[in-house]
Amino acid sequence: MSEPGQPEWWFYHLKRTTLEQAAGPLLEKCLERGWRVLAVSPDIRRRGALDAALWTYNDQSFLPHGQAEAAGLDASKQPVLITEAPENVNKAAVALLMDGADMPIHAEFERCMVMFDDGDAPVRGKARSLYKAASDAGLTTRYFQQTEQGGWKEAG
């Protein structure tokens, strides 16, 4: 476990599936560890697509989540909060950053997970700059590439 202000930075390079398809299993693993997640994207379409995908990604289980924009939602109670804003209102241990969402390198999370699509050059560039900044700051960084089967393999 990282010290406060010393998050681990994990990077997920999508090559085979959509972000929505890949996020469900990662979010489920976070919840199994007892971690809440703040899923941040500046793109309203992505937030809606992720919300829809989490309702249906696994017929055998339910992944509790909510969108910050939803009327009447108590954001502070959501195990997975999908939002545009990087404020940690649900007291998450993990930040999932999508679509070039920004987060300070020394954010108050245990882990910051950056998901980026191989075909999106600006977002891929943002992920590279975050990786370099976290690495230069002496923080733990890990880089995963998506396998042919859609799983993850840690790369150099």
Question: What stretch of H or E contains 29?
Answer: helix 19-32
pLDDT category of residue 145 using cuts at 50, 70 and 90: very high
**Is the per-residue pLDDT at 96 higher than 60?**
yes
CA distance readout (Å), 15 to 51, 81, 154: 21, 25, 14
- Whether 156 maps to a domain, the answer reads no
Q: 3-state DSSP call for residue 114? A: strand
- Whether 54 maps to a domain, the answer reads yes
Instruction: Look up the domain containing 65 and give its range.
Output: 8-147
Domains of the chain: total:
1
Give me the pLDDT at residue 3, please: 61
pLDDT category of residue 5 using cuts at 50, 70 and 90: low
**What CATH number has the domain bearing residue 115?**
3.40.50.10110
Structure confidence by residue, pLDDT tens digits, 100-140 = 999 999 999 999 999 999 999 999 999 999 999 999 999 99
| Bridging pattern class, strands 152-154 and 141-146 | antiparallel
- Whether 3 maps to a domain, the answer reads no
